């Protein structure tokens, strides 16, 4: 089996959250979805499981972070600067909050921030690894 990551996120309104992620370009996988959770696919290796608070509580007894708290930032690599802007703009139109952190432009790397409707931090970014001195992935 290839290596994959499943990011699990609690959401207050499953339909609203699904609409937000679809606006960003994620696709819905009904095989791993039900009335309490939806599997949203970013790539062959990256899946985001959006789970109602009730379903989330079946995985842990730890409290869900309050809206506005920050526990993790999820960065998504995209093809170019325009894709960074397009992702943030699409997310804002779908109920997210754009640029809660100032955009960063380092020449070789460009990044912006979008919060999903539940306050989860996403950072789409583009990086020219050759200009940054790193190896291409």
**Mean pLDDT of successive 10-residue stretches along the chain, which has 137 residues:** 89 96 97 96 96 93 81 91 97 96 94 94 92 60
Contact 132, 108 (CB under 8 A): yes
pTM: 0.85
Can you spell out the DSSP letters for 67-112? TT--S-EEEEE-SSHHHHHHHHHHHHHTT-EE-SS--EE-SSEEE-
- Which H/E stretch holds residue 59? none
For domain 5-58+71-132, which CATH number applies: 3.40.50.1580, 3.10.510.20, 3.40.718.10, 3.10.180.10? Answer: 3.10.180.10
Question: Where in the chain are the domains?
Answer: 5-58+71-132
Contact 13, 117 (CB under 8 A): yes
SS3 116: coil
Write down the pLDDT at residue 137. Answer: 47
Greatest Cα pair distance, the chain, in angstroms, is 46
């Amino acid at each position: 089996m290839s290596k994959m990551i499943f990011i699990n996120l609690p959401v207050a309104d499953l339909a609203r959250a699904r609409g937000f992620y679809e606006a960003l370009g994620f696709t819905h996988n009904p095989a791993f979805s039900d009335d309490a959770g939806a599997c949203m696919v970013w790539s062959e290796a990256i899946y985001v499981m959006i789970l109602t608070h009730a379903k989330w509580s079946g995985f842990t007894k730890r409290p869900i972070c309050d809206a506005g708290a920050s526990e993790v930032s999820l960065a998504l690599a995209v093809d170019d600067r325009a894709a960074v802007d397009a992702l943030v703009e699409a997310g804002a139109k779908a109920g997210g909050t754009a640029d809660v952190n100032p955009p960063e432009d380092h020449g070789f790397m460009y990044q912006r921030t979008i919060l999903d409707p539940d306050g989860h931090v996403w950072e789409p970014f583009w990086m020219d690894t050759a200009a940054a001195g790193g190896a291409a992935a």
